[in-house]
Chains A and B, each alone.
Chain A
Amino acid sequence: MDRHLSEDQLTRHVYRTLTDAQREMMDIHLGTCQECRASLAGHEALQRRARYSVMDRRRGISMSPQASFADIAPRLRRSRRFATLWTGSRQFVYGLATLAVLVVLAFGLALYFRDISQSAESMYKGGPQRTGAYDVKGPKHGELLWQFTTKSTIMTTPVVVDGVAYVGSQDGFLRALDSHTGEEKWKFDAGRPVLSTPAVARGTVYFGSGCIGGSDYCLRRRAGSDYYFYALDRQTGQEKWRFQVGGGVASSPLIAHGLVYFGSEDQHLYALDSRTGQQKWRFTTEDVVWGSPAMADGVVYFGAGCYLCTTSEDRHLYAVDSQTGREMWRFETGDWVESTPVVADGVVYFGSGDTHVYAVDSQTGQEKWRFKTEGGVQDSLALSAGVVYVGSRDQHLYAIDSRTGQELWKVETGGASLYGPAIADGVVYFGSNATSDLYALDSQTGQVLWRFQNFVSCCHSGGSGLALGEGVMYIVSDNVNLTAVGDPQQ
């Protein structure tokens, strides 16, 4: 080390903030450099003087005798008394505080789970896309679990959520049944037939009623000409609001983004505020809107016309903006479009009275393919794993490749009307009113896995009539029964 020591090095030396090695190196230099020794002496002198000055402050002055322990003793005693009191009551206070925290926690959890249960929802065909595919393990057996019998024809498909099944019937009642036992929890009298399969969302059950086509039943009841769409409290069945419609409602509601959508016999598709029932917009068609709307990517899809209409004035599938009701496109078929569309992966699939199944681009409305059957295609489409399953009035169930429109397999159903299909875990479930049988098929091959005979008998056309739960199928049988079929002990 030939250079002179820096000010910083000298300061570090004086204040002993060097490592032993650094100190040793510096000491070697100091041994040979008189100039640095002189500098170090100056630093040491200042350090000693600073130390002296600080210590001198201690020596130079002392606390006045008036300041004593007696001055602070009262405060210490008060503090000690409080500490003693606190020690004595600490257990009690802690217990009280713990109790309070637990109460608040329990209250919060109750609210949370209430909210969770309130947020549970269920819609026709499994949700807004109406695929008919359920994320459950479907039943592996056809055992009868329970049966609920009404005095009137059940007109809707059951909708099941949180242990409650909701169904509507021709006598004007919407019923809530325990989905495990079939016991009635409550019923609501709508005054006229309930054909609209209910939808459940945010603690509310939505459905419409009406005498579609002015049936004899309605004429006998002299039900008048007012038609309503209802919102009920899901737990109690109490009415939240009702909305007057110009015609009967067979369409099952769709709930999304705070709005509820449904079609009516009055030739409109409605969008209402789901909380208040205020109309946001309505879209006018040329015929009844019998089927149920589907939704994907902010667009609502629905058809117009119906099988029972003698001549259908409207033969279109419509795509409208879900927020404004503005038409995006329309696709013309050869006859009524009663089928509820299925939307998935940018394609809308639907059937028509002209005997075709169509696949069109969901954004542009351009046809991708069409598949011909020998009968009209009503509300009997489902989609799962790239396969469209279609029941036709030609008494067949078809499996079609969703990408190409090619037939994969078909089975004979023996009747024009079909329950389902519904799909879960690679199994296709459907019922045929002609053979009165209920089927479970392998979705890949169409092979019958099991069959429940002499069971179904209905002329039902208000919906698919079949819903799936964990190991159980809910289906309308013999017109007046809601029946749970499935695995025992489920």
Chain B
Amino acid sequence: MPDINALIQRWRAGDERAAEAIYNQYRDSTFGLAYTLLGDQADAEEVAQDSLTYALTRIESYDPKRARFSTWLHTITLSRCRNKRRRRYLPSLSLMAWLTRGGDAPDPTPGPEHQAIRETTRDEVWEAIEALSPPLREAIVLRHWADYTYQEIGDMLGCSMRTAQSRVRLAHKRLRAILAPGDLTILEENTHG
């Protein structure tokens, strides 16, 4: 794997192939983080492309002394995920839908195919993670997803290291509270088994 700092230097000098190499190196991890946080393929792809574009066009502002490139890029990704999530929850109604009220409104429930996939891959723990509030979900995902240190998590979330630790612990406690006692017993039995 080429040295990221050398690639950054080349891209700063105008070598587009270096930019492409950086893109290819971080494409999947950026998408993976976005998907983990958003849970939607299209949204995650959009966020990943947008985050990589932003990072590459603002490459002059990246300071290797302050953070790893991956940390910097994923901070950008995290920020865009938040924006995407915020927009998703904004109430919206198209003008045409309003004018033709009574027409067919899109059904928000998942289709049969999607439902089948969800059934076969049901993961109670992930469902519990998805039920966490965004700050707690972000903290625990970052902790497990890339083994970021608490300091790095704090930097990415824009809070102190102690707050990052506190959020991770609180997320853990909430997960225990959300999961049914039966689920926890099964987990423990599997562990002992």
Contacts and interface: CB of A to CB of B under 8 A. Distances in A.
B8 to A, nearest CB: 14
A49 to B, nearest CB: 5
Contact of A50 (B16, B23, B60, B172): B172
Interface in A43-66: 43-58, 60-64
Secondary structure class of chain B's binding surface, majority of residues: helix
Given A15-B165, A50-B129, A80-B14, A43 B48 contact: no
Interface in A64-111: 64, 67, 69, 71-73, 75-77, 79-80, 83
Interface stretch (B69-77, B88-96, B106-114, B184-192): B184-192
B27 to A, nearest CB: 6
Nearest to B45: A67
Contacts of A50: 125, 129, 140, 144, 172, 175
Interface string A295-323: 00000000000000000000000000000
B169 A11 contact: yes
Contacts of A69: 19-20, 23-24
Which of the listed residues A44, A49, A61, A76 has the most CB atoms from chain B within 10 Å of its own CB?
Answer: A49
B121 A58 contact: no
Contacts, number: 120
A62 B31 contact: yes
A232 B127 CA distance: 84
A63 to B, nearest CB: 4
Contacts of B28: 62-63
Contact of B169 (A15, A48, A51, A54): A15
A12 interface: yes
Interface string A411-436: 00000000000000000000000000
B126 A73 contact: no
A14 B172 contact: yes
Given A63-B27, A63-B48, A72 B184 contact: no
A139 B62 CA distance: 68
Nearest to B29: A58
Interface string A219-258: 0000000000000000000000000000000000000000
A216 interface: no
Interface string B118-140: 00010101100100000000001
A20 interface: no
A7 interface: yes
A49 B23 CA distance: 31
B157 interface: no
29 contacts: A8-B169, A11-B169, A12-B169, A15-B169, A17-B150, A17-B165, A41-B191, A42-B188, A43-B176, A46-B175, A47-B172, A49-B125, A50-B129, A50-B140, A52-B125, A57-B126, A60-B121, A61-B35, A61-B41, A63-B31, A67-B45, A69-B23, A69-B24, A72-B49, A72-B53, A73-B20, A76-B16, A76-B19, A83-B60
Interface of B: 14, 16, 19-20, 23-24, 27-28, 31-32, 35-36, 41, 44-45, 48-49, 52-53, 56-57, 60, 121, 123, 125-126, 129, 140-141, 143-145, 150, 165, 168-169, 172-173, 175-176, 179, 184, 187-188, 190-192
